[in-house]
Amino acid sequence: MIHTTPQEIAQAITDLASIPEICSRLLQLLNREDSSLEDIASLIQSDPGLTARVLRLANSPFYGRGRTVANLSQAMMVVGTQSVVTLVLASCSVQSLSRLQQTGFDLHRFWEHSVFVSLIARDLALRHRRCPDDQAFLAGLLHDAGLLGMVSAVPDIARLMEMKRRTWQGPTYQVEETYLGFHHGHVGAELLRRWYFPEPLVIAVAHHHQFDPQAGEVSLQHTLITADALAHRADMGRGRNKEPVGWPEESLQALALEAEVVDEVLSSAQEQLDTMLQFIMQPARAA
């Protein structure tokens, strides 16, 4: 077994890519009890490019509000303050992670899967209403952050895991657990904790492959597990994913969701994918 820890790898990732200052300041504001909506709006407006991207998405079919959103204050009223905050955190996180150097890694494919999971998770949360849909969206977007980080921060380990995976009959995370003692979800959770993301998000990312009833955030865990499994299975149907993925029966039951909703959720996520992917990838291309 290779002797390293999720904490050591997460530290190596943060040494390579720090989160943008505006995102760090926003997280600090959110953790303060005396912060106001005006404080949040003022901070976001200090970055014109970021504000413009938020407004474009607020006016897109993704939110489908039927009215033009002309400024950030209107966006916070029409789509909700938490939704605006989520979009900012999403944009900043992608910007940071996309700055990591990768060799032979399909970054577009990585974000396509991540965005697909985020859209499925959001739709599932809107249906079962057991966890915030914006929180589910952000968890879906960042659930594989540890995987991308490992490719950049510990490339030798990442290459070894890829080599082992070629002859492994089970999921990738089981290869990592066998040879490392942990998987990329644990690395991603430690990274998000270092970036001061909310603990519910950290817990869900850590357990997006295996439900842990002792960890807490039960509904968010089940939502992310379901979303990731459905996204992988959809990719298998398109011939783009060879990793064996089981049907998330336990999580669907825990969320009281019928199997019949799956086709609806996948169809909705697919319709929204290009719009959200464009929003997500813009800061990455500009970085």
pLDDT for residue 242:
62
166-172 contacts at long range (C-beta below 8 A, 24 or more positions apart) = 169/244, 170/244, 171/209, 171/243, 171/244, 171/245, 172/243
Residue 101, classed as helix, strand or coil, is: coil
pLDDT for residue 177:
95
| pLDDT per residue as tens, the chain (287 positions) | 676 899 999 999 999 888 888 898 998 888 888 888 889 889 999 999 888 888 888 887 777 666 788 888 888 888 888 888 998 899 889 888 988 877 778 888 999 999 999 999 999 999 999 999 999 999 999 999 999 999 999 999 999 998 998 888 888 899 999 999 999 999 999 999 999 899 999 999 999 999 999 999 999 999 999 999 999 988 865 545 566 678 999 999 999 999 889 999 999 999 999 988 887 776 555 44
- Residue of 276, 2, 5 whose CA lies nearest to 160: 2
Instruction: Report d(CA 25, CA 20) in Å as an integer.
Output: 9
Alpha helices, H only, the chain: 6-16, 21-30, 37-45, 48-58, 72-78, 81-98, 107-128, 133-142, 145-153, 155-165, 172-180, 184-194, 199-206, 218-237, 249-254, 261-286
Residue 55: C-alpha distances to residues 3, 25, 69, 169 (Å): 46, 20, 7, 45
pLDDT for residue 1:
65
Q: What is the pLDDT of residues 216-233, one digit of tens each?
A: 999 999 999 999 999 998
pLDDT for residue 238:
58
Q: Is the domain defined by 6-286 classed in CATH 1.10.3210.10?
A: yes
User: What is the b/e burial string over 76-110, where b = at least 16 CB atoms within 10 angstroms of the residue's CB?
Assistant: bebbeeebbbbbbbbbbbbbbbbebeeeebeeeeb
Kindly report the pTM of this predicted structure: 0.91
